[in-house]
A and B are shown apart, each in its own frame.
Chain A
Amino acid sequence: MSVLSSTRQSSGPGYTTLGRYFRGVFLPKFIRFIIILFVGLTIAFAVTRINPIDPANALIQKLTSSYGANVLRPEEIESFRRAILAIFGRDRPIWEQYISYLVGVFTFNFGPSFTYFPSLATDIISSYLPWTVFLLTFSTIVSWIIGITMGVLASIFERRAIGKVLNWISLVVYPIPTTILALVFLVLFVSQLRAYMISPGGGVTAFRLDLETLAGMFSRAWAPALVLIFYNTMVWALGTKGLADVVRSEDYVRYAVIRGLPLKYIYSRYLVKGVLPPQITALALTLGNIFSGAMVIERAFSYPGLGSLLSLAVASNDYPLVLGIVSYSILGVALAAFILDLIYPLIDPRIRYGAG
């Protein structure tokens, strides 16, 4: 609503603004969202179909021959078989399998998990999901704000020691793989400082919106969050420094300096405003990377998020769970990018007024 009300005063009657927003921003961005989702889910689907081994047969054999026949009741085995065939079923034509996969994604149904039978894969994912969302949202917002501030400062104080130090730190940290960074911090926090306790596997409490749960979440999340914030801050700082340098050399900024505007005013109104729109776009585009990085860090710190769950699922060849995690990762990231696209006009007036 705020997008619309803020534009209303300056661009004529309300319905035109709404219509313009719908046609100019919402519709194209929605189509883009659908295409992104479609491409991602198609790859996830294709990958599970063109693999050399047949996971369905392998799994049914393993289940029925080894321990399955003694531990599981026949109807459970039958339900397994149906679940596996539904996910990996090659008896039906490929397009039919594809449709049923897409239906599965949007009806939140991937059948039962192999490891946590008879729990549904979706239920397990949804008990881990709040942890990841909590960690990711918090650390992404914090590091985006700090990183942009740092980058702008590094650009303003380019010739001073502080600017140079900031620039060099970000330059060195930026290319280091998240895995390596996570391991370095893991050694530091766990075996050197003994400040963070690793509780391998499990330890997932159901998410409730009360103080105790949140406190528990925070005691688990601070170390992975710190690593994520540190790394992403450096990434944003480096990008922002480059952008701010470009903006500073623009004619209109030079003109503002010559005109004698206070430097403080130039920095806040010219520099930051020039840096924000491209950095929103960059945030939308790198969401997938940020998510992948978070998964790695969660796994390294045994933080009970999707990364650790994926690691558990991989260790036990739990295909429905893996496929579910992948599909929801794609869905979540595409959705977040879509939301960012929708609020982008708030930041960039050129888009808001349909120019440029």
Chain B
Amino acid sequence: MSYILMNRRLIGLVAFILAMVIVAFVGPYFNPYKVEPQRWNYVPKDRPPSMEYPFGTTTLGQDVLWLTIYARRESFAMGFITAAISIDISLIVGSLAAYVRSPVASEVVASVIDAFCVMPLLPILITISLLWKQQLNPIFIGVILGVLGWGGFARIIRAALLSLQERPFVYVAKASGYGFFDLLIKVYTPQVIGWLIVAFINRIIFAIGMEASLGLFGLTSLNRASIGSIIHWSLTYQAFLRGIWWWYTFPIVLVVVTVVVLYLIVFELQKSLRRGVTL
């Protein structure tokens, strides 16, 4: 903990993200329109940024500022869900791969983990979204992303725990009768807690990117404010060719700032973890 408090850059980055999260979750309560910003035609169409509409308005008659704030909320909420689910699966499967004694079983679990690393997730995700088109919402997408996107981190967990298997305290724990879940919670998890934080943030970045990709294919929650639906509608109404740059520029810039800051946090944390600083 003390390392984190010493690292000024890390504190600044985390404070920035916290501010963004607070704006995203509190902002909607100050919405001046009394309707959700993804509704159509509550403001004039195609207005460039001005004092009245700081981020401009869309061809659908939406205020881009409030659209963006709501979209940030969806992105963060979805990211948290994805991260929470995929981290749990990674932790359980990764430690199972390190825990099992038989070489065959260990290889099989490792191969299944590899399968989830190697698989092209986007086409599978697109298929799911196509079949559940009517039910798409951030929670659903977040859950699906969490269930599918745990491979990479499970691999890291497995590698980290395999090197622990020969350490005395693991032997002691096993000899004193700890079962798999006792080991998982009391012995394994404290050893990889730093990596859990890193992976959690990484999965949020992953979820935000995947949702944007789904929007490009027109398969996200299109009747809600999300970065994917902004991309979809601005493409559908050819904002790129008609010079309505504010429609997509502000949301995209905010997403880029969010993911870059999140990644810089990950980068700083990783540096300290590699140096062997425990959190």
Please report A residues at the B interface, Cβ cutoff 8 Å.
Answer: 28, 31-32, 35-36, 38-40, 43-44, 47-48, 51-53, 55, 171-172, 174-180, 182-184, 186-187, 190-191, 284-289, 291-292, 295-296, 299-300, 310-311, 314-315, 317, 319, 322-323, 325-326, 329-330, 333-334, 337
Contact = CB atoms under 8 A, between A and B. Distances in A.
B119 A179 contact: no
A315 B218 contact: yes
Nearest to A33: B111
B259 A177 contact: yes
Which 7 pairs of residues, A with B, have the shortest CB-CB distance?
A: A177-B209, A292-B122, A175-B263, A39-B115, A51-B131, A35-B111, A36-B115
Is the contact region of chain B dominated by helix, strand, or loop, or is it mixed?
helix
A209 B12 CA distance: 56
Contact of B123 (A36, A183, A284, A329): A329
Interface residues of B, number: 52
Interface stretch (B1-9, B32-40, B162-170, B248-256): B248-256
B108 interface: yes
Given A32-B114, A179-B231, A292-B213, A187 B240 contact: yes
Given A52-B132, A179-B212, A190-B240, A326 B205 contact: no
Interface string B245-278: 1001000100110011011100100000000000
Contact of B256 (A31, A176, A334): A176
A172 B118 CA distance: 24
A38 B108 CA distance: 12
Given A180-B256, A296-B216, A40 B115 contact: yes
Interface of B: 107-108, 111-112, 114-124, 126-128, 130-132, 134-135, 148, 152, 155, 205, 208-210, 212-213, 215-219, 231, 240-241, 243, 245, 248, 252, 255-256, 259-260, 262-264, 267
A174 B218 CA distance: 25
B231 A177 contact: no
B54 to A, nearest CB: 21
Contacts of B240: 183, 186-187, 190-191
